[in-house]
Structure 1
Amino acid sequence: MIYKDILNRKKRKLHYLKCWDVFLITVIMFSSFIITSFSTFFHLTDKNMTEIPEFTTALNWRAFIFQGILLGIAFLYLYFRNFDFSQWKITINLKAILIGIILFIGVALLFDLYFMLLSETVFDNSIFYESRNEASFVSSFSNIDVSLLFYSILNGFYEEIFFLGVCLSVVPEKRLYYFIYSLFIRYSFHTYQGNLSAIAIGFLLGSIYYMLYTKMKEKNLFPFFLAHAITDVFGAGIIGYFL
């Protein structure tokens, strides 16, 4: 009898997450980052824009381990909920890699345009570009730390599997509500970078990723993981490397 129940449970895969599933996974994966980010934000001298602190090798590895543990807990929860992981399509091939690179470049150019327009009326964008002016895009490859590379790969997967995976694994009629919810969550743990950067990352990037992913005929999460990882390595803008 118990064996039959186990078999039936395996057959009854969970395709659509409930609201409490999404909320609990949000708490597991992002609550500590949201609290830390807002704590930093409220102590910023300039709430609009601030210089992003440089992460050391030790901090990268610490963040890698911490996020790896949180991701494991979130996946264990989904496993015990009998969630159907197979509906998350992740295909690594040349086409997906090229799409990811193009996606990074496109979003980076939009971010450059965003900050250029704001700099005309709202703030001085020199902070955004000063770290990029010190080295060209090509020479910056030599400064890539292994810890940063590994952390960026994990973080790209970590964030986008939540925003494009978890938040869209709900009944189709309610996906718009969860999309809006995801924008605010994405914004909330980036506030430590200043309000203007958080808005760009949370609402601009979040909307672009959502729109492109939902319009894909053949769903594939990998290009978004890759684009996010490249952004973590080189930053959200690209023009500053060539100025």
Structure 2
Amino acid sequence: MTSDTRAVHKNLKWWDILLLTLMIMGYPVIRSVSGFLLRFCRLGDDSYLHDLFGDNRVAVVSTSCLFGLALLYLYLRRYDFSGVKLFLAPEVLFVSIFLFLAAALMTDVYLLVCHTAGGFFHLSALLGRFEGLLAAKPLPAFEMLSFIYAIVCGFTEEIFYLGFCLSVSENKMIPAFIYTQLIRFFSHTDQGVCFALGIALIWGTVFYCFYRFYPKASKRNLLPFCIAHVISSMLGHGILSYLTVL
């Protein structure tokens, strides 16, 4: 009986990342692009989208299973998981809230600019819907299923974006980052081009820069980014509309 002597490796190949994209982000991208084409490009009736993609129970199960399949693939590829760290630390909660607030405030300012530009150039139908952008609104009611779905999405997506996709050699880091931006964009186009760009340019860039350049490589922790993603999934990607309630 012979043992498997293949060495584990930290860097993934481009086809590894492509396969992981199909497994982890294929469902969100298809849902988002379908919604964009039907809703904003007027290619058909979008009323069935909620029935097709709106069941959080199906989404939780399918996302979890596909992420498990991705982990199995990486295990068989002898990927070194030690580079993808999630651990509790005293600063985790503070950093999570800081990341959310910083990105949310920038998103609010960005969407206000998009709203103004969209109205001026008559592009609101394409850029997205901004009615009541800063209108006061209460915190959303807590729903356990939505919370579970937010946790699943927050952890699987940030592990994909910041963990797996950035598992490349240093000279390929910028192309990998640009690729994650494209996937972030296409997974949010159902909410409008402007909003999707904001998610990529603001949230993607803030997360990437903070993850890559703030802590030492040995202390990089994905947990704050996953938690910040969960918060945004529950509350939305802006914060000013909640502050106007006060």
**TM range, normalised to the smaller chain?**
0.7 to 0.9
Aligned to 1:208: 206
What is the alpha-carbon distance in structure 2 between the residues aligned to residue 109 and residue 28 of structure 1?
Answer: 32
Q: Does 1:190 align with 2:191?
A: no
Q: AA paired with 2:2?
A: I
Instruction: For 1:102-121, list aligned pairs within 5 A.
Output: 102-121=98-117
- What CA distance in whole angstroms lies between the structure 1 residues aligned with 2:161 and 2:133? 26
Q: Distance in 1 between matches of 2:237 and 2:137?
A: 16
Q: Which residue identity does 1:97 align to in structure 2?
A: L
Structure 1 portions without partners, runs of 5+: 48-52
Say whether the 8 Å CA contact 1:186–1:202 is kept in structure 2: yes
23, 36, 40: which one aligns with 2:18 = 23
Q: Could you give the per-residue CA deviations for residues 120-146 of structure 1, whole angstroms, max 9, x where no partner exists?
A: 22247324445xx342x4xx4xx1101
Partner of 1:161: 159
1:237 corresponding residue in structure 2: 238
SS at match of 1:16: coil
| Cα deviations by residue, 1:49-71 (Å, 9 ceiling, x for unpaired) | xxxx999xx82222111100110
| Displacement after TM superposition at 1:22 (Å) | 0.5
How far apart are 1:148 and its partner, in Å?
1.2
| Structure 2 unmatched ranges of 5 or more | 43-48, 120-128
Share of identical aligned residues, percent?
33
Structure 2 residue 28 is matched with structure 1 residue 33? yes
Aligned residue pairs total 224
Residue in 1 that maps onto 2:87: 91
Query: Does the Cα contact within 8 Å between 1:184 and 1:203 map onto a contact in 2?
Result: no
Q: 1:46 to 1:239 in 2, by over 3 A?
A: farther
**What is the Cα-based RMSD across aligned positions, in Å?**
2.1
Q: Name the CA distance, whole Å, in 1 between partners of 2:58 and 2:234.
A: 17
Q: Which residue identity lines up with residue 34 of structure 1 in the other structure?
A: V
Deviations 1:29-80 (A, max 9, x none): 1223322221211122479xxxxx999xx82222111100110010000010
CA contact (8 A) 2:137 2:241 kept: no
TM-score (norm 1): 0.85
Deviates more, 1:77-86 or 1:197-206: 197-206
Structure 2 match to 1:50: none
| Counterpart Cα distance in 2 of 1:32 and 1:219 | 28
- Would you identify which runs of 4 or more consecutive aligned residues in structure 1 move more than 6 Å? none
User: 65-74 vs 29-38, which deviates more?
Assistant: 29-38
**8 Å contact kept, 1:46–1:194:** no
Report Cα offsets for 1:183-203 as digits up to 9, x if no partner.
Answer: 101111111111111111122
